[in-house]
Each structure stands twice: as C-alpha cells, then as structure tokens.
C-alpha cells in the first residue's frame, strides 16, 4: 500500500516514459563479472527479439562491469547502478526510481536475486516485470520470507530447471520470454577488441576469489607454479587479479622457487586487457572465478580449483560443452551449500572444501593439461 502511494505521487515527476517513441526495456545484471559473462549469449537473443528500431534496452549493472558492458552490442545504454548509494543516499534513490519509472518492461534474469533489487524493480510499476522463480535454498540461502516479499514485485516469475549449468538456464529464460530456443554456447566475448600484450609464452595464475574463504592457499599456488616451470622452463607465470589482490600476488610470487620468472600483474590491467591476457595464455590456473569463464569463451585450457557451493551450476562445464577445463574438487556430503558453510568459523581461512584440496590433486590435473598442450 505504501509503495503504491509513493509510485502514484512520483508519476507526475517522471515525464520521460518514452525515448524517441521506443518501448523502454530495463535489464538487470547487478551481479559479478563471471555471472555477467555467462549470461551474454542469452542477452544476444533478447537483443534480436527486441530490435533497436523499436526498443530501447538499458542494461542495469555494476560499475565494475562498465568497460565490458559498453563494448557489448546487445543494448543501447549502460546504467551503472550503485546499490550502496541507493541504500544510503535518498537523492540518489529518488533519481534512480524516477529513471526506472520510464520502463515498459523490466527483466531480471539473475538467479541469486536480492530483496533490494526486487523492491527497486517494484517501484518501476512497469506493466511487465519478469524475474526467475527461485525457491528457498536452490541457488542461494536467502530467507523464505525475503524471497516471498521479493516475488510480490514481479508480474511474472519464470520457473526453470535449476539443476542445469547456468548457461543452459540463461538460454532457457531467454526462450521463455521470446519463444526463441537456441543451442547454448560459451563463446560470448567475440566482440572484445584484440590488444597486444608485452608478455609472451606464459600461463596465467589467478589466486584471488570473491572472498578470503574461497581462496586456495598462496603457498600451494606457488608449489604448482614451480612444478609447471620445471616441466616447461619456457613458460613464465603471470599472476593476475585486482589492485587489492596485489599483496596476495606477492605472497604467491615470493613463495615460489624462482620468483624472477613470475610476474605479479595484479591491478595492472583493465578489463579488456585482462580478457586478452586470458585469450593468449597457454593455460589458466585459477580459483573459481571469472577467469575460468573467459577462458571457456576462447577455448583456452584451464584448471579450476572448486569449492562446493554450486558444483555443476557454474563450474565444471557439462561434458558436451567442448570447454577445455578441468575442475579439481574433493566431493563432500555438504556440497551445494551456496556458501552457507556451517563448518567455517574463521573468516581469514579457506572453506573446508577448498582447504582439503591438496597440491597432488591439482598437480595431477595440471600434468594432464600440459600433456594436451605439448
């Protein structure tokens, strides 16, 4: 009731319902880079179904994804939506609501929906507000009450088979909206321009992850680097990550036996350069993060160190996908916990499912990969 009154009181302020007479579609992808990349193939289907001569598509995304999003041809506008500002800055929140009130349709294909985004979408009052029907504890651990409250902000919720890989789920969602069913494919970054990299003959190492708890220990990464360089002395190790992960990169580098053949590149590349670094690497050694999905787009071989939160949803890829990746994990009865780990009391240590992955298991996977690239 209160939300309805607020919407009515704001309608007179929002005189921007149409832009050039086109229908306004707002598509929300306010999640992480890896999720964004995995969705791009489905985004192409939406653009084809809602062509630019009739529809103005605005992508609502995190500022961190802007550089990639601006190059993507599947929308007309990129809106950097700052969730923190929306929560704490009333002026920002008012302007954001007024902007979203232009919408004729709002699409939220995100599986791990947040109540904040759900409520924001409700303020649009668009005739069509479409999201994914996610039940409690399927792909996230949100309280049932929060999911139920969020559902009220949509005019349609699409029920999907969430036991599939997320690329297949994304294509299923697009098919539900458009009636167009295409074969899922991970090669969604072909629009990225080529950039030359000064480093040649390297393998890429990504020791960072979304949190400290999702990281395999730096010393273990260093041991694998030593193993690779003994087998392939012609290869340098290029450590990549964010600016905040530079110190982590230094820990890996200093723990290795020959740090002179290791380059800490954390924080030294923008997003487009990072994509090209992955594209030109001999192979990738990484925690479960966006680098593995970028590698999949370009057919680059990879070894991914996998926790148990979402096994099969993001990684590993299905056997029939032709993605050249090896997932290393130790099966446990508590898998698919969505990072809601009841066995992890300390924030600065890895989750048990990651900590129990030993160097020998990763070394065996890397050894298999090295034989394939000889």
Domain extent listing, the chain: 11-178, 202-373
Are 192 and 225 in contact, with CB atoms under 8 Å apart?
no
Q: What pLDDT score does 363 carry?
A: 98
Query: How many CB atoms within 10 Å of residue 242?
Result: 14
Could you name the CATH architecture of 11-178?
3-Layer(aba) Sandwich (3.40)
**What digits encode the pLDDT tens for the residues 278-287?**
999 999 999 9
Structure token digits, residue 107: 């699409």
pLDDT of residue 343: 75
The runs of H, that is alpha helices, within the chain are: 2-11, 33-49, 66-71, 83-88, 90-100, 115-124, 144-151, 166-178, 218-231, 246-255, 271-280, 290-298, 352-355, 359-373
pLDDT single digits (tens) 174-209 = 999 999 889 888 888 989 999 888 888 999 999 999
What is the spatial distance between Cα 184 and Cα 165, in angstroms, rounded to a whole number? Answer: 10
- Which is it for the CA torsion 247, 251, 254, 257, positive or negative? negative
Instruction: Return d(Cα 128, Cα 178) in angstroms, integer.
Output: 14
User: How far is the C-alpha of 49 from the C-alpha of 261, rounded, in Å?
Assistant: 49
299: left (phi over 0), alpha (psi -120 to 50) or beta: left
202-373: which CATH topology? Rossmann fold (3.40.50)
Q: Report mean pLDDT in 10-residue bins for the chain, 374 residues.
A: 53 51 95 94 96 97 93 96 96 96 97 94 96 86 88 97 94 96 87 88 94 93 97 96 96 94 95 95 96 95 94 90 92 86 74 94 96 84
pLDDT score at 16: 47
Confirm whether 11-178 and 202-373 share one CATH topology: yes
């Amino acid at each position: 009731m209160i939300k309805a009154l607020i919407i009515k009181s704001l309608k007179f302020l929002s005189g921007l319902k149409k832009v050039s007479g086109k229908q306004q579609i707002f598509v929300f992808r306010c999640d992480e880079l890896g999720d964004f990349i995995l969705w791009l193939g489905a985004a192409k289907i939406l653009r084809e179904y809602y062509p630019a001569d009739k529809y103005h598509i605005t992508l609502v995304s995190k500022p961190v994804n802007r550089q990639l999003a601006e190059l993507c041809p599947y929308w007309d506008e990129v809106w950097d939506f700052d969730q923190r500002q929306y929560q704490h800055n009333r002026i920002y929140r008012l302007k954001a609501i007024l902007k979203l009130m232009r919408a004729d349709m709002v699409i939220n294909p995100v599986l791990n929906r947040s109540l904040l985004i759900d409520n924001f979408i409700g303020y649009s009052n668009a005739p069509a507000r479409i999201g994914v029907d996610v039940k409690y504890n399927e792909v996230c651990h949100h309280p049932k009450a929060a999911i139920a409250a969020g559902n009220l902000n949509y005019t349609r919720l699409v029920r999907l088979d969430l036991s599939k890989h997320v690329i297949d789920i994304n294509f299923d969602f697009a098919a539900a909206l458009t009636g167009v069913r295409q074969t899922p494919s991970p090669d969604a970054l072909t629009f990225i321009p080529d950039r030359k990299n000064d480093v040649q003959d390297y393998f890429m190492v990504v020791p960072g992850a979304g949190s400290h708890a999702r990281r395999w220990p730096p010393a273990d990464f260093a041991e694998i680097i030593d193993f690779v360089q003994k087998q392939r002395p012609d290869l340098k190790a290029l450590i990549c990550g964010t600016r905040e992960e530079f110190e982590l990169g230094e820990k890996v580098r200093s723990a290795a036996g020959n740090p002179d053949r290791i380059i800490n590149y954390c924080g030294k590349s923008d997003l487009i350069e990072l994509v090209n670094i992955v594209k030109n690497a001999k192979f990738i050694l990484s925690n479960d993060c966006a680098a593995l999905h970028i590698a999949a787009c370009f057919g680059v071989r990879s070894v991914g160190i996998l926790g148990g939160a979402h096994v099969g949803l993001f990684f590993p890829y299905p056997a029939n996908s032709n993605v050249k990746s090896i997932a290393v994990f130790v099966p446990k009865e508590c898998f698919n916990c969505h990072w809601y780990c009841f066995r992890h009391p300390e924030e600065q240590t890895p989750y048990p499912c990651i900590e129990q992955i030993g160097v020998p298991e990763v070394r065996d996977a890397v050894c298999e990969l090295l034989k394939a690239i000889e």
